[in-house]
Structure 1
Amino acid sequence: MTDQSPTLLFVYEPERACFDRLVAEGSPPTRAAEIASYLAQSTDIEPEFDAMAQACARRGLRFDPVTLDDAPQVLAGRDPERSLVWTITDGIAYFRGGAGPALARLNGLPTLGADDSLFALCQDKFRSGAVLRALGLPVPEAGLARNGEWLAEPPASASGYFVKPNRLGAKIGIFSDSRCHSLEHALDLSRRVFAAYRDDVVVQPYVAGRNVRTSFLAVQPEAGVEALGTFFVDSGGDFQTMEDSLALYGETGAEARAAGTYAEPELVPVAASQPLAAERIGASASRLMQALGLRDVFSMDFRVEADDTVHLIEFEVCPGLPCFDFRAYCQAQWGLGLAEAVAETAARRFSSRG
């Protein structure tokens, strides 16, 4: 007899599948491993699938983790009344997770999280920044370069520039000299990024301040900005490089834990020392939820200056659920571990339908 329980379909792209595909397409294995490392959250979350299945079962749900390559077959023919699709890895270029919510829509299945149009928007940092600025949000202006040529020149900047990939990963600068002081250096960085990853670069005026991560999970469907978790992320560096990222997640992070050398950045609530900045961040999140349709689960990254000036760097529709910052948020805001937070969120969605 077929199990008729309501089912949470947890769609993800495995790190290994991405690596194998990139190598087959001609990427050098070293570069393919670096690129695929952005999917380390899928590697880190797999050991928790049993705990998630048990937490779901306690709430009368089935938990079904689905790899992206299997999703077209698994989602086809599902009963929309007994299905909920939660896509946990994103991507429109090197990664393909953005296909998850599109497949759900194709099959008429309800989703948890943003729709597929936002999956595409947030992964193109230049276009995303243009939209956010048009909505009046405090996003640095930007230029766009490809392999040493300007596609759009950035504004003049007395503070120098920050150079980051346009579609690869998120806010990290890749190289230790990603903060630079001339447009010539910025173009040189664009050549290096293009040679290594075949990506354009966004070139923004450098903005000072501390790094802030804002996380959101609507465990309760009606939750709004009051459920945001906004923390300074103090790692000791001005910005994150590829090397820093690799040290926190996936196999490299696991090796560091085994060797006793793993160190997470410190998380400090912004409201404790800069309540005005926290209020401004909340207003930005509210604007994105109202104007763009961000919902259910997302994150935002900011730079906050000592005078409470806030700079929105980016938003993400697939925050790293198993990452230290999101776990800390779930515990601080909802009093739940990750598996319980996932299961409770899904269970309340099914209940709200009824």
Structure 2
Amino acid sequence: MPLPPHELVLIYEPEAACRRLLLADGHGDRQALEISSYLAQSTDLALEFDEIAAACAQRGISFRPVMLDDASAYLSTVDTARCLVWTLTDGIAYFRGGAAPALARLRGIPTIGSDDTLFALCQDKFRAGAVLKALGLPVPEAGLARDGDWIAPPPESTSGYFVKPNRLGAKIGIWVDSRCDSADKALELSRRIFADYRDDAVVQSYVAGRNVRASFLAVSPAAGNQELGVFFVDSGADFQTMSDSMALYGDTGAGARAEGFYAEPELRPVLAAQPEADRRIREIGAALMRKLGLRDVFSFDLRVEADNTVHLIEFEVCPGLPCFDFRAYCRSQWGMSLAAAIAETAANRLLV
């Protein structure tokens, strides 16, 4: 009797499912829409499931996208020796994707991506920053506030502060005034964050420079920091806000594109303009892999000053695969479409 085909299982949490849970938990309509927009890559990548399936079939493996709520039941049926789990979105608080790699570990199924403990760490910016600092990485000093009270006061900063929710991504809770000059203003912003999202606020010392995104996909299992894609992300502003992000992706982004409000930031290789900064960023990438344990697929955000000073802002274990920057990385580094890069990565793990 022939063996069943090797299978890539992609587990994802839909925006609509997340919104239903947020509304049931008492969040307002606007807040539920904003928070669930973090899962926009699930909406966008679903449009390419057929293309991914075809790319996988060309490599002799099958592709099965599975919604998070169905994951436990489905994983109980697979041949664990011929299956690979790829978790599309993380989450431990407002989102639940961090459960997927844990379910795979419980069943003894190999995964694409970092250890499931890092799925929890990356969703807590304050704790993640403390760990990165302890590992000797160049992260800005930060404090933590809850609804106008300091949990951990930030150090004095002559450059002011940048305030953002602690457990939310995709620029949720980042407004045009999120950069502020005083600790009192930072506490005021923490009250707004708590009122809107019930979240603590990370208060980082503001650091100057251009925004940089470093992306990584180990299409080849031997890939290392030289396979990072390191790009300036120029949006025409000092930083992107929640409204900027919601105009790019998912359910809300589809409406923005239909109405002509879609505008992608420009990507420029850091190597071309600041080779020393590029070298330092790749060293940071190597440290994140060696010291923190990032692997397979991840991204991290930085600020780079004109004198090549590099500031590590945060890391992400589930980068936005269908986002413009990750697609550009797959094309420039691997010469592949997103679907082909996903399929090739999975085949190089399964067919060994």
Q: What's the counterpart of residue 142 of structure 2?
A: 142
**Structure 2 matches for 1:150-299, cutoff 5 A?**
150-169=150-169, 174-299=174-299
In structure 1, the gaps of 5 or more residues are: none
Q: Is contact 1:143-1:202 (8 Å) kept?
A: yes
Q: What's the counterpart of residue 328 of structure 1?
A: 328
**Alpha-carbon separation, structure 2, partners of 1:160 and 1:173:** 18
Q: Is contact 1:171-1:313 (8 Å) kept?
A: no
Deviation at 1:80, TM superposition (A): 2.0
SS at match of 1:346: helix
Write out per-residue CA displacement over residues 211-253 of structure 1, whole angstroms, 9 at most, x where no aligned residue. Answer: 0000000000110011000000000111111111111111222
Q: Is contact 1:84-1:346 (8 Å) kept?
A: yes
Q: Is contact 1:143-1:153 (8 Å) kept?
A: yes
Write out per-residue CA displacement over residues 295-339 of structure 1, whole angstroms, 9 at most, x where no aligned residue. Answer: 000000000000000000000000000000000000000000011
**Alpha-carbon separation, structure 1, partners of 2:3 and 2:32:** 40
Matched, 1:66 2:55: no
**Alpha-carbon separation, structure 2, partners of 1:182 and 1:43:** 39
Change in 2 beyond 3 A, CA 1:57/1:205: same
Structure 1's consecutive aligned runs of 4 or more residues displaced over 6 angstroms after TM superposition are none
Q: Is contact 2:37-2:252 (8 Å) kept?
A: no
Q: What's the counterpart of residue 82 of structure 1?
A: 82
**Alpha-carbon separation, structure 1, partners of 2:258 and 2:188:** 38
Normalising by structure 2, we get a TM-score of 0.98
Q: Is contact 1:173-1:240 (8 Å) kept?
A: no
In structure 2, the gaps of 5 or more residues are: none
Greater shift after overlay, 76-85 or 91-100?
76-85
**Alpha-carbon separation, structure 1, partners of 2:326 and 2:156:** 36
Q: Aligned letter for 2:100?
A: G
Q: Aligned letter for 1:186?
A: A
Q: Aligned letter for 1:184?
A: D
SS at match of 1:264: coil
**Alpha-carbon separation, structure 2, partners of 1:51 and 1:2:** 26
Q: Is contact 1:78-1:109 (8 Å) kept?
A: no
Q: Is contact 1:219-1:341 (8 Å) kept?
A: yes
Greater shift after overlay, 37-46 or 167-176?
167-176
**Alpha-carbon separation, structure 1, partners of 2:25 and 2:2:** 40
Q: Aligned letter for 1:309?
A: T
**Alpha-carbon separation, structure 1, partners of 2:132 and 2:150:** 22
Change in 2 beyond 3 A, CA 1:288/1:171: farther
Q: Is contact 1:172-1:240 (8 Å) kept?
A: no
**Structure 2 matches for 1:309-348, cutoff 5 A?**
309-348=309-348
Q: Is contact 2:171-2:241 (8 Å) kept?
A: no
Q: CA RMSD in A?
A: 1.2
**Alpha-carbon separation, structure 2, partners of 1:170 and 1:304:** 20
Write out per-residue CA displacement over residues 69-111 of structure 1, whole angstroms, 9 at most, x where no aligned residue. Answer: 0001011142221100000101110001000100000100000
Matched, 1:111 2:118: no
Identical amino acids, percent of aligned pairs:
69
Q: What's the counterpart of residue 24 of structure 2?
A: 24
Normalising by structure 1, we get a TM-score of 0.97
**Alpha-carbon separation, structure 2, partners of 1:171 and 1:18:** 17
Q: What's the counterpart of residue 6 of structure 1?
A: 6
**Alpha-carbon separation, structure 2, partners of 1:90 and 1:132:** 19
Change in 2 beyond 3 A, CA 1:2/1:243: farther
**Alpha-carbon separation, structure 1, partners of 2:298 and 2:124:** 16
Matched, 1:121 2:107: no
Aligned residues: 352
Q: Is contact 1:277-1:309 (8 Å) kept?
A: yes
Deviation at 1:255, TM superposition (A): 2.1
**Alpha-carbon separation, structure 2, partners of 1:226 and 1:173:** 34
**Alpha-carbon separation, structure 1, partners of 2:260 and 2:237:** 21
**Alpha-carbon separation, structure 2, partners of 1:83 and 1:39:** 24
Deviation at 1:2, TM superposition (A): 9.3
